[in-house]
Chain A
Amino acid sequence: AQKVTQAQTEISVVEKEDVTLDCVYETRDTTYYLFWYKQPPSGELVFLIRRNSFDEQNEISGRYSWNFQKSTSSFNFTITASQVVDSAVYFCALSGTGGFKTIFGAGTRLFVKA
């Protein structure tokens, strides 16, 4: 069975603070894909990143960075110098090889205050 756990339900920070959103996953597949999506109040899901299980390189994209650690089954997401526009719900997701269905974590609601 596959599972994605986002233990942080809500996080509140002040603008310019750094914030890390945690994601822990479970899967028996050796090949799998991990994703992060942002869902602003409008409801649309915005793709942020995809990482396959064979690529443990960390990635940085502007103020966003991701830390993939297979040893701890974690795929954490850090926003540096947060901004009010970062306020949204962030979902971590996992896609295995069984039909490539994608399951989502519960989401972390981020509030960035000015």
Chain B
Amino acid sequence: GAVVSQHPSRVICKSGTSVKIECRSLDFQATTMFWYRQFPKQSLMLMATSNEGSKATYEQGVEKDKFLINHASLTLSTLTVTSAHPEDSSFYICSARVALDGELFFGEGSRLTVL
């Protein structure tokens, strides 16, 4: 099946720094990728839809300036958590589809801890 790779899998940073998480589709082109956030023992909450070559579409309540999403190519989307604070600590997961109505493939997830 299609593979989506996320990097880094774990990151620890100091409060106030910015962290970039990469999401790559390894064997297919993804015009659309999705970024989710998951708090411990909770469900996945959709943060934004990342569109190749255009601006991301953010869900209500998600701060665009805090969570910068860039989808520069058909195989790479990045999420940058700017000026991270402890409350940004979470599990971030990206996903991509092969086709609009197709299966959603997930990356391995990135666990962010902000000290």
Contacts and interface: CB of A to CB of B under 8 A. Distances in A.
Given A91-B44, A99-B49, A44 B101 contact: no
Instruction: Decide if the interface of chain B is mainly helix, strand, loop or mixed.
Output: strand
A19 interface: no
Interface residues of A, number: 23
A50 interface: yes
B101 A107 contact: no
A100 B101 contact: yes
A47 B101 CA distance: 15
B27 interface: no
A28 interface: no
Contact of B42 (A31, A44, A100, A106): A106
A44 B106 contact: yes
Given A43-B108, A43-B109, A95-B104, A106 B93 contact: no
Interface of B: 1, 32, 34, 36, 41-46, 49, 57, 91, 93, 95, 97, 100-106, 108-109, 111
A37 B44 CA distance: 11
A52 interface: yes
Instruction: Decide if the interface of chain A is mainly helix, strand, loop or mixed.
Output: strand
A43 B106 CA distance: 11
A104 B104 CA distance: 12
B56 to A, nearest CB: 12
Which one of B1, B101, B104, B111 has the greatest number of beta carbons of chain A within 10 Å?
A: B104
Nearest to A103: B46
Contacts of B36: 104
Interface of A: 31, 33, 35, 37, 43-45, 47, 50, 52, 91, 93, 95, 99-107, 109
B103 A50 contact: yes
Nearest to A33: B101
Contact of B43 (A31, A52, A95, A106): A106
B34 to A, nearest CB: 7
A101 B47 CA distance: 11
B104 A105 contact: no
A76 to B, nearest CB: 18
Given A103-B46, A104-B43, A45 B106 contact: yes
